[in-house]
Amino acid sequence: MSKKRSIEEEHRNFQEKWELQYFCVQNKNKILCLICKNSISVAKEYNLKRHYDTNHKTNYDQYVAKLREDKLSELKSILQKQQSVFTKCVEDNTAAVKVSYILSHLIASRSKPFTEGEFISECLIKAAEVLCPAQIKKFKSVSLSRNTVASRIDEIAENLRNQHNTTISTFQAYSIAIDESTDIRNIAQLAVFIRGCDVNLKISEELLEIIPMHNTTTGADIFDALMEVLKKYKLPLEKFVCLATDGAPTMTGITKGVVARLKETCKQHGNNNFEHFHCIIHQQVLCSKVLNIGHVLKIVTKIVNYIRARGLNHRQFASFLEDIECEYTDLPYYTEVRWLSSHKVLKRFFKLLDEIIIFLETKNYECAELKDGQWIKDLAFSVDITSHLNQLNLKLQGKNHVVTTLFDNINAFKQKLLLWRKQIEKENLSHFESCQYLLIKSPKLKFTEYAHQIKLLETEFDRRFSDFKSCELQFRLFTSPLSIDIEIVDENLQMELIEIQCDSLLKQKCMEVGIPDFYTYLSVDRFPKMLSFVTRIMAMFGSTYLCEQLFSLMKNNKNSERSRLTDQHLSSILKIASAQYIQPNYLMTCFVKNDVKYLLKSNIKL
């Protein structure tokens, strides 16, 4: 077999002298004719000469010596200008596409309809007409039509999912929070959030999926949907630490609930340490229901509705408060669904009690309770106790809480309840401002009867937080590794814990940085079991707060005006609007778009 000849042997390397002889240049490994801009596939002098002789010899042989050199420079200059124009075109188009993505992302994250893009486009063009008229063409090239915005949002959401998949693959342990709510079209939507912890003890909380349940929503249906999601994202059950849910029977049923099915499935995969937590915020609200303040809320709601629901009464009441230069200018509504908002209503009602009585007398509205000393005492106690419950609720809300912090807040509140009960039994109202106010006005009033109400709260908190109580020892170890008694700790952790407690440098570091940052200083080679334990605790969900937030976003987006929003679009919007740790890679998304692909395929260097 004959040996293949090299490019050098065939004289296929472009030679500089050919530029002047045939008006050709080398451009990106191709030979380009400067006259007609056609490419010559093989860099052989024979091919170049044939092309020149056939197409251009007659018109260009007249250029000789210095004239030929000048003509070559002129043709090169023309090519360079053309390339600059094309390059600028590519840059402008790419920038316009990127802006389109950025604004579409903003539309989704602010829960605005897709059609908002067209309005934004109008605003951009009007602003450009005044600020930079010469650049108006660039602003007009930003595509923000309804369909474009919808498409961009889907692609951004997919980009976020891909990034999230990469993060999920690094989790050493993870937990799931699920909750279900119906949208405006009565479609049950199952929110699935994941909280994970990687080898560096970095925490991530993100929406995993929003699953439309178009049929029944039994425990089996929800369990199957959840298992499909775990399978889709390749989440091993061996790393599944805990599940946070509300207290619905479909979730907590003894045999057919999601939790029971999931525990059994985890056991089959060798995971015997799977935990379930009933949302700590939901439990706290349920505890509050044990308070005997229904008769107070009934009267307050009745009077507030009488004033607020009738336009004339409302205007006259607001005018009355303004005339007497009252601190408050209105009464808020009471919403039973948001039970803890009752504090705001009760407090305002109590502060305006004298003004309300005067106003109702002018309207000949009779309400015996407003002159009943016992009812007014109950109102004052209701104001104070709901204030304390509100403060606890605010501490439990929020993102990125370690479960031990939530548990500590509950324990602290239980200790406060014990203190308040003992103080009230001794007629000490230091922490009950409204009750104190009444006592100053009427020193003979007695409030010891409310110690029983607080005792009911204590009992209810103990009962409802029993599932967290079972993890109390683990939580104590996590928060107090240097002081916990070694003998009560799991035997698998005892040796490593002794090493930690006896290491002076680690003890000093713990005092400096605190928990949980202290654990980032532990070596995985020296403390593998302890770090595995820490990872589990840090990955735990203590509430379904993120789910509740998501449902608010869902109702803002899929409302009466956008009730036909598709499942895919809703999922994309919520993925973007709820994202915490991941941000879209606009550049990556831009360069896979069809509307710039043709630019990338060209010979023009970006």
pTM for the full predicted model: 0.78
pLDDT score of 577:
95
CB 126 within 8 A of CB 78: no
Indicate if the alpha-carbon torsion angle 176, 179, 183, 189 is positive or negative: positive
Summarised one tens digit per residue, pLDDT across range 569-601 is 999 999 999 999 888 887 655 544 544 443 333
DSSP helix/strand/coil, 485: coil
96: tokens are: 């316009």
Query: How far is residue 269's CA from residue 264's CA, in Å, rounded to a whole number?
Result: 9
Rounded to an integer, what distance in angstroms lies between the CA atom of residue 221 and that of residue 180? 12
Other beta carbons within 10 angstroms of residue 50's beta carbon come to 13
> According to the model, what pLDDT value does residue 598 have?
38
- Cα(360)–Cα(36) distance, integer angstroms: 94
The C-alpha atoms of residue 176 and residue 207 are separated, in whole angstroms, by 10
Retrieve residue 88's tokens: 């600028």
CB 58 within 8 A of CB 11: no
Q: What is the pLDDT of residue 35?
A: 84
What are the boundaries of each domain within the chain? 16-62, 287-455, 481-539
Structure confidence by residue, pLDDT tens digits, 187-211:
999 999 999 999 999 999 999 999 9
Contact predicate 460/287, CB 8 Å: yes
Stretches in the chain below the pLDDT threshold 50: 1-9, 320, 324, 327-328, 333-339, 591-592, 594-606
Report the distance separating Cα 98 and Cα 305, nearest Å. 51
Q: Per-residue pLDDT tens for 124-177?
A: 999 999 999 988 988 998 999 999 999 999 999 999 999 999 999 999 999 999
192: enclosing H helix or E strand: strand 188-198
The set of residues, in sequence order, having a beta carbon less than 8 Å from that of 132 and lying 6+ positions away, is: none
How many angstroms separate the CA atoms of 248 and 123, rounded? 48
Chain-centre distance for alpha carbon 102: 18
pLDDT at 383: 92
- ω into residue 516 within 30 of 0, thus cis? yes
Cα–Cα nearest to 438, from 508, 521, 512, 376: 376
- Strands (E) in 112-187, as ranges, are 171-182
